[in-house]
Amino acid sequence: MSTSEGWRIPAVEALRVTEATRVADLNTNGTPGFDGDKALGARLLEQRGAVLSGLQEMLFAGARTTDEHRSVLLILQGMDTAGKGGVVRHVIGHVDPQGVDHASFGVPTPEEKRHHYLWRIRRELPRKGQLGVFDRSHYEDILVVRVHDLVPRTEWETRYDEINAFEHDLVESGTTVVKVAMFVSLDEQKSRLAERLDRPDKYWKYHPSDVTERGYWPKYQEAYQAMLDRTSTEHAPWFVIPSDRKWFSRLAVTELLIDALERLDLSWPPADFDIEAEKLRLARS
C-alpha cells in the first residue's frame, strides 16, 4: 500500500466506504487522511500525476507483449457540479490520451433505451492495456432511475445484485475497477451553479433541470446511500470523496489510481531483440 507525502493514512484506507458511512452526515469539506493544505495538494497533484502517467504507460506497454487482459476502469459518480469533469481534465489529463478509453453516459438515446441498461456500458469497457474512465455509469440506473422511478421499483431493485455480478465478471476477466463517489454540499453546489450563470464560458454547462434536481436532494442522498451499502464489494469497493475542495478530490483520485496500478505489479516488457546487436547496427547505419 502506498503512503505518499502529506497523507497520514493512505487514500485507499481513508476513503474506502465502511458500514458506518452515512451520506447525509458526510463532511464534504473534509480531507480525510490528508494533512496538507491547498498549496501542498496542488504541488503533489503534479508530482503524483507524473507517477500515474508512468504507471499507465507501463500498463499500455505491457499489453503489447501479452495475451492476458489487464485494464483499469475508473467509475466516477456524483451529483451535478461534484467535479467529475475536473477529475477527467486534471487527473486523467496527466496520462497519454492514447492509453485512455473515456466514455460519458447521459440520458439514454432512443437506441440505448431499446436495450438492457448494461448494453451501452459493455460497449465502452476499456480495451486491454487501457485506463478506462466512465463519467457517470450504470450506477445512474439505480440513482436517477430510482429517484424518479423511471422504471418500476421491482425492476430497479434487482439491479444492485445484477451490477455486483457484472462487476465481478469484469474483475475476473482482468479489469481493476476503481469506483469513486464524489460528494459536494448543497451550498457548494449552489455556488458552483451560480458561477455557471455568471460566466458566459460556463453557460453551456448549465441546465435548468440542475436546479429542479436540487429539490430531490434527500432522495438522491438515500439513493447514494443504498448504492454504497449494496454495491461496495471486495472485488469492487466504493471510495467516498469529499469534493467541496477540488484540489483534494483530484489528488485523492490520483492516489487511488496509483494504488490500483501499483497492485498490478507492472514491469516494462523486455526487449524482443538483441540489444547489443541493434546498437551495433544503429552505429553502422
- Residues 149-168, interacting with ligand ADP (CB under 6 A): 150
Closest CB 205 distance from ligand ADP, rounded Å: 7
Grid cell listed for 217: 436532494
Closest CB 197 distance from ligand ADP, rounded Å: 15
**Nearer to ligand ADP among residue 48 and residue 138 (C-beta):** 138
Query: In this structure, how many other beta carbons lie within 10 angstroms of the beta carbon of residue 84?
Result: 23
Among 40, 125, 144, 211, binds ligand ADP (CB under 6 A): 144
Q: Which helix (H) or strand (E) holds 135?
A: strand 131-135
Per-residue contact track with ligand ADP, 27 to 66, x per CB under 6 A? ----------------------------------------
Please tell me whether residue 76 binds ligand ADP under the rule CB under 6 A: no
Residue 69 CB-half CA count within 13 A: 13
d(CA 143, CA 227): 8
Q: What is the DSSP string of 176-219?
A: EEEEEEEE--HHHHHHHHHHHHH-GGGGGG--HHHHHHHTTHHH
Closest CB 136 distance from ligand ADP, rounded Å: 5
Point out which span in 18-26, 59-67, 104-112, 158-166 binds ligand ADP (CB under 6 A): 104-112
Please tell me whether residue 227 binds ligand ADP under the rule CB under 6 A: no
Among 43, 128, 136, 214, binds ligand ADP (CB under 6 A): 136
d(CA 82, CA 248): 12
Please tell me whether residue 145 binds ligand ADP under the rule CB under 6 A: yes
Are the C-beta atoms of 147 and 209 separated by less than 8 Å?
A: no
Grid cell listed for 96: 497519454
Output phi, psi for 245, to 5 deg. -100, 110
Among 140, 167, 188, 244, binds ligand ADP (CB under 6 A): 140
Are the C-beta atoms of 181 and 220 separated by less than 8 Å?
A: no
Please tell me whether residue 141 binds ligand ADP under the rule CB under 6 A: yes
Site of interaction with ligand ADP (CB under 6 A): 80, 105-108, 136, 140-141, 144-145, 150
